[in-house]
Each structure stands twice: as C-alpha cells, then as structure tokens.
Structure 1
C-alpha cells in the first residue's frame, strides 16, 4: 500500500460534500499519532522550561528510585528523563485522540481549540501529578514556589501540545479558509 493510500485512509476528507465523521476509528488513530508527535515535542519544551528554573530532575527519577531501583533518585537522571519523555509522549497521544471528539460545534478555529483544550489538559495532568503522583505515590510535598513552577511547566506543556495538535488538524470547516496562507487565488 502506498504512502498516499495510507494517508488518504487516515486523513479526514476535506471535500465539502462529505461530512467528516470524527468518531471514525481512522480519524481517531490519525489524531492519536498526531498527539504522539505533539507529546514528544511538548515534553521537550516543558523539560527545557523547567530544568533551568527548578534545577531538579522530573519526579520520574524519584519514581524509578522508589519502585524499581535501589539508589538515590540522583543516580537515575537519565532514566528519569527518559520516563518523563515517555509519559509526556503517551499523554500527547491520549490528548490527540480526545481532541478528535472535543468541541463538536467547531465554534472556533482548530488552533484556538488546541490552545484552550491543551491548557486545560496540561493543568489536569498537573493536578493529577501533584496530588496523586507526588503526594500519594512518592510522598513528596512541594513548597508553594516549587508547586507554582510545577504547574507552570505543565501549562507550558499543554500550550505546546495544543498548539501542535490544533495547527495540524485538517478537515475542519471550509478547506479554502482553513489553509489560506495569504496566496491570491
């Protein structure tokens, strides 16, 4: 099967006469793949944002040290960063799949929806991370300033994730309007 054939099966149609069925498994699969890419990029951006400010590893190094390894978390810097990248990339795939279903009315452009839903998603992950992962699983209590930066990092993640997914959403609205790059007809 050629790349063009695979792409035509996975990408939603932009033909105005065809209704886009966002619940089609092919569309959800394509959206999840787009989210996987976005999650990878957004995690790199979040990590680049947080490392110089907090000057500490992501809590995934603590997770590895506590549940898998037998050394201090500082000994698992590489594994901690790799796990953090894996978590963020996987969460991006989930976001991509969910994005295919959100905002059925399509009242705003895909890029704007991506930023809004990405922010909400990033903050939901942050709340889960701070309340469950840190407090319950790892028994880590962040100070107020550290917690604010933890949330800020996840907001950066959500914005980057939503911007990537939203800017790559195809088949929403009139194709001529969605992909107008300033070229004259």
Structure 2
C-alpha cells in the first residue's frame, strides 16, 4: 500500500513520492512491453541469421533493419504499380482510394508476414501483445503508403487539367 500524504504545492513528482513510496509501487518497466528483458530480436534479424549468416539473430540487428527496409520499399513499389493500374471513376478521390486500398494492402502484408513468414518460414509464434503491434504497424504502413501514393496520382498525365487550376481549385 502506498501512502503519499498531502500533495506538495509544486506538483513535483519527485517531491510527491518519497523513495520508499516509489519502491512500494513495484513499477517494473524493464519487465513490460518493449522494455522486457530477454525480448527476442526482430523477425528480419531472425531471417537474416537463419538463411544468410547462419549466426545468432542478436548479432544482426542492422542487417535485419536494412532487410526490412529493402522489402518494405519493394512492397511499396508493388502497391504503387497496382494502384496506378486501377481505373476508378471520379466519385472517390485518389487520396481516399489510397487510404482504403492502403489499409487493405497493409493488412494483407501483415497476414502474409504473420502466417507465412513468421509461422511457416521462421517457425516463430508472436505473443498477443507482439502480434497486435505487428498488425498495427503494418496497418499504419499501408495507410501511410496509400495516402502518399494516392496524393501523387491525380494530375500525373496533365497537371493543368488534373488539378483543375482553371476552375478556381
């Protein structure tokens, strides 16, 4: 039980909690979430260690990051190519289409990554909190990619006509 007494007038957290009181709180930041001790390395570092270097994943954090960056660029290029092939009428703006299809694309990448790459190729099963972050990260990637690609497609063929500058826009 934590006894704090009266709140000091300075609202200074260090003054508010004495050392003994914070010890009683038993806040173990090192054991939770991203700060967990013994947290496994990234899936890309695992892939690098298993199929390229034959070493330990913890020895290759930079290679894993660069590998993830490389196939992220390739996935973005594929999305841009597929998005350019799509022919939609003007009832929905390109940015809106980009957000919609980007979200779908991000979730498809996430499903492929978790079901094929992690489970089948690497033999890894993520914990519930890790899986949630994995899916959230890929959704954000898809949304960002879709918004960016969508905002770049309008007016590509004819900038004056595509952006409708003559109509006051």
Choose the corresponding residue for 1:159, options 124, 140, 143.
143
Trace 1:61-140 onto structure 2 (pairs within 5 A): 61-140=45-124
Aligned residue in 1 for 2:43: 59
Residue 98 (structure 1) shift:
0.2
Higher normalized contact order (CA 8 Å, seq sep 6+, divided by chain length): 1
Query: Would the alpha carbon gap of residues 75 and 162 (structure 1) be closer, same or farther in structure 2, given more than 3 Å must change?
Result: same
| 2:155–2:163 Cα contact (<8 Å) kept | no
Distance in 2, matches of 1:177 and 1:143, equals 51
Residue 71 (structure 1) shift:
1.8
Please, what TM-score do these two structures have when normalized by structure 1? Answer: 0.63
Residue 147 (structure 1) shift:
0.6
Residue 106 (structure 1) shift:
4.0
Where does the alignment leave 5 or more consecutive residues of structure 1 unmatched? 1-52
Distance in 2, matches of 1:57 and 1:118, equals 27
